[in-house]
Structure 1
Amino acid sequence: MNKPAKKEFCDALTLCARGQRRRAACEAVHLSATFAVQMAGRSKRILGDLFGLSNFGVNLTALQPGCRSAMQHRHSCQDEFVYALEGEAVLVCGTVEVPLHAGMCAGFAAGGVSHHIENRGTAAFTYLEIGDRTAGDLGSIRSTILSPYAGRTSGS
């Protein structure tokens, strides 16, 4: 975990202990700090922008061991597609887990099943993310703490 996230997390807990913030706000900050740790091993090269693509985005993403692609989420308007290039990972779709390895792909229609990818192995997992950039998309985040919350997302 990087130092700023840890400080933000500690400060929020201190404020919560003093009763100056609601419990939900503290849980959100805790989840953010936890998520930051899980995302620390993700690197993303935004390829579509290099070529001036405006209708869809393409990212080359690598997940180091112990890392995840994102929080469990789904998009309201945007379709998403992933293609595994190297390594092995686990695709989590709702409550179903599917092993992913090089050459496999998965697609997620707008409003469909929630999903994320986890690298539970010992080597990096690299894949392409491809998604449209439909305006007004909202990403629904599934979590035991933040289930009633939704966050805005941008195109892949």
Structure 2
Amino acid sequence: MRRDEEKLPAAVEAAAVAPRSRPSAYPEPFAARMAGREKRVLGDLFGLGNFGVNLTRLAPGAQSALMHRHSRQDEFIYILEGAPTLVTESGETALSPGMCAGFPAGGLAHHLVNRTDTVAVYLEIGDRTAGDGADYPEDDLEARLGLDGRWQFFHKDGRPY
């Protein structure tokens, strides 16, 4: 289909895109830990199917996600504003605007934490590989990407949330 037939925009002001209505797909009690995180889903807006792009804002004290690693999905972040801390299984790295980081599938578990008193803003990009899953080494949680494209969450013993 042509772009004009699908009514997809040619370009937008990223910060003007409405934030995602549901702050987190995580089940409780994990979803509450995402307070202060705001995502603007940009890739879907343009009909991108092979990868996703989010403009994410972390308020002071907020975190990007639970510490996690994907089984099949690669991820990439690029810092636009602020100074979040990248926390991985092997240590911490202070980030600043212009810095980036990549996380290959099956690599180090990771997340960002904003320990400053100013907002952090970054782009996150990830592919949409079918059959992806996520492991959360610090929590009793694992995730599987369903056939419908939605995350399904389980305890580590396999019981669903």
TM-score normalised by L of structure 1: 0.73
Where structure 1 has 5 or more consecutive residues not aligned to the other structure, the ranges are 1-28
1:1-150 to structure 2, matched below 5 A, reads: 32-33=28-29, 35-143=30-138, 145-146=139-140, 149-150=141-142
Higher Cα radius of gyration: 1
TM superposition shift of 1:38: 2.9
Q: Which amino acid aligns with 2:143?
A: G
Q: Residue 151 of structure 1 aligns to which amino acid in structure 2?
A: A
Give the conservation status (yes or no) of the 8 Å contact 1:71–1:142: no
% identity of equivalent residues = 56
Is 1:152 the counterpart of 2:147? The answer is no
Q: CA RMSD in A?
A: 1.7
Instruction: Classify the secondary structure of the residue corresponding to 1:113.
Output: coil
Give 1:39 shift.
1.0
TM-score normalized by the length of structure 2: 0.71
Q: What stretches of structure 2 of length at least 5 have no aligned partner?
A: 1-26, 151-161
Structure 1 outlier segments of 4+, above 2 Å = 35-38, 152-155
Is the 1:80–1:107 Cα contact (8 Å) retained in structure 2? yes
Aligned residues: 121
Higher helix share: 1
Aligned partners of 2:118, 2:31: CA distance in 1, in Å? Answer: 20
Q: Given that residues 91 and 99 in structure 1 are in contact (C-alpha distance below 8 angstroms), is that contact kept between their aligned partners in structure 2? A: yes
Q: Which has the higher contact order (CA 8 A, sep 6+)?
A: 1
